[in-house]
Structure 1
Amino acid sequence: MVTLPQLPAVVVGHVSHSRRMPVRHRFRYRTYQWLVDVDDLPRRRFKAADHLGSGPSMRENIATFTAAHGVPLRPDDRVVMLANARSFGYVFDPLSVFWCLTSAGDVRCVVLEIHNTYGERHAQLARPDAAGRFTLGKEFYVSPFFAVQGRYDVTLRVDADRVTVAIELSQYDHRVFTAAFTGRPRPASRLAVFRAALHTPFVTYQVWALIRMHGVWLWLRRLPVIKREHHAPPEGVR
């Protein structure tokens, strides 16, 4: 059973990436995300069209996707999202996580939605074990330096004190990449939001810039670029 913090919450923490081969590259920086109930979203910060589809509400987008993948949501289910909020009308979410919870707080399923810098999006549904772990196949072109093959080993944790998302990519029988976000949720008071934005201003623009900066660094290191093929979104993603 999941014990949620008070929502909406600002989750202040750090994101880290570690590339192991063929070029070793690591970074870690401070950031923050929002943890919200999709049925009670903060005004002006989130739009349904930013996540999964073009339905009239974010919950409908999630329900359409989960039903298409064999997990219909019940009216009393709760959907909690970890994502970036819009900043001056712009948002970029490399990864958004949706926990679909029963009225008792048990995890019915989770949905991972991925955006790349080419304007494409993809989503996958999983059913974590009791420790929040699961494995997914890599189905989406995210980085120009990784082929669309292999598997993701994912660990999710959300409770009143900490939120963690950790992902390991394995290809060719080697663990090649690890990404993680971990932070502490705080009630999204005006003061908490101000402090988070003060320490990490223009956070969605920062994400956009850092992805490109590190991409250029890897390109200058002569890391081979993988050709991008056309991506057809999975059923339930519009």
Structure 2
Amino acid sequence: MSTAPARAASARTAPAGTAPALYPCTITHVRTTPWRRTLRHRTYLWLVDPDRPPRLPRPLRPLARFDPRDHFDGTRPTIRAGLDAFLAAHGEPPAGGRVLMLTQARVFGYVFNPLTLYWCLGRDGEPRCVVAEVHNTYGGRHAYLLHPDEAGTARADKRFYVSPFFPVDGGYRMRLPPPGPRLDLTVRLDRPAGPALTATVRGTRRAATPAALLRLALRHPWSTLVASAAIRAHGIRLYLRGLPVQPRPDDHRTPENTT
């Protein structure tokens, strides 16, 4: 018997409750052109309601800070205000219900968020849209407004310079089911010649207790700095192998609120 209806129903069901959660996970990037190369690292991500950020004991607060300046144009008083302003700029009514944000937190004052996701729910609890906020290693950021189908899949034209080895062309195919007990995300970059890069995030949900955070912080110290360093080191290896660098657009560092 087919399981497609069950998968579709699962993709449309947001995780219950508003308690923050942690996802120990493995992030994998597989480049397929001009040769196959894989970058894989382990880290952990937070799932939080930006209206109700986690309240940690004072000694642990340096391990998790959620700062509005790290998201959207960085000028709003709260992350939720930045999200609502982005939605309004795109003709989307402000998220009337809960928002679930999957992200990295600042750790000892540093953060690098290649991808932050916001699942926006209506007042009835039904999924309305997803916002995918992308940051590059040059200090720029860009957000995409998405309306996934029942399987959690959405498409968007690429509009932002990310990897120095890819121009701004092609489009993304994203599979973004709301996180539940398992985290299972896929982002694929399709260029005119075919698929070029696939990124996956696989993890398992943990309650965001002080003990769980401390264990993960000890297992992955300076997690956001390590991720940034790994991406840069991977880029250096590709460059030394002769992969040509694509010129950066003049506005590659400008925070963007356009799709």
**Do they superpose with TM above 0.5?**
yes
Q: 1:206 to 1:68 in 2, by over 3 A?
A: same
| Structure-1 separation of matches of 2:97 and 2:91 | 15
**1:221 maps to what in 2?**
241
Equivalence for 1:112: 132
Partner Cα distance (2:179, 2:46) in 1: 14
Aligned to 2:198, what secondary structure does the other structure show?
A: strand
RMSD in angstroms over aligned alpha carbons? 1.6
Pair 1:56 & 2:68 matched: no
CA contact (8 A) 2:14 2:127 kept: no
Structure 2 distance, partners of 1:14, 1:235, is: 29
Structure-2 residue corresponding to 1:230: 250
Give the corresponding residue for 2:44.
Answer: 32
Question: Hey, what's the Cα distance between the residues in 2 that align with 1:148 and 1:212?
Answer: 19
Alignment partner, residue 7 of structure 2: none
Deviations 1:134-187 (A, max 9, x none): 100010000100010001000012243112221011112310110011111211
Q: How does 1:197-208 map to 2 (within 5 A)?
A: 197-208=217-228
Deviation of 1:10 after TM superposition, in Å, equals: 0.6
Percent same amino acid among aligned pairs?
44
Equivalent residues of 1:15, 1:181 under 8 A apart: yes
Higher strand share: 1
Q: Matches of 2:145 and 2:38 in 1, distance apart?
A: 28
Structure 2 residue identity aligned to 1:9? A
d(CA) in 1 for partners of 2:16, 2:208: 11
Which residue of 2 is the match for residue 67 of structure 1? 88
Aligned partner of 2:183 in structure 1 is: 163
Partner of 2:26: 14
Superposed counterparts of 1:53-202, under 5 Å = 53=73, 54-74=75-95, 76-202=96-222
Quick one: which amino acid aligns to residue 176 of structure 2? L
Give per-residue Cα distances to partners, 1:74-121, cap 9 Å, x unaligned.
5x4111110000010111101100110123322111111111111111
The normalised TM-score by structure 1 is 0.94
Say if 1:5 and 1:185, in contact at 8 Å, map to a contact too: no
The runs of at least 4 aligned residues of structure 1 exceeding 4 Å deviation read none
Decide whether the 8 Å contact of 1:170 with 1:177 is kept in 2: yes
Structure 1, unmatched stretches of 5+, are none
Q: Structure 1 residues 187 and 103 mapped into 2: Cα distance closer, same or farther (>3 Å)?
A: farther
Gaps of 5+ in 2: 1-11, 56-60
- Output the TM-score relative to the length of structure 2: 0.87
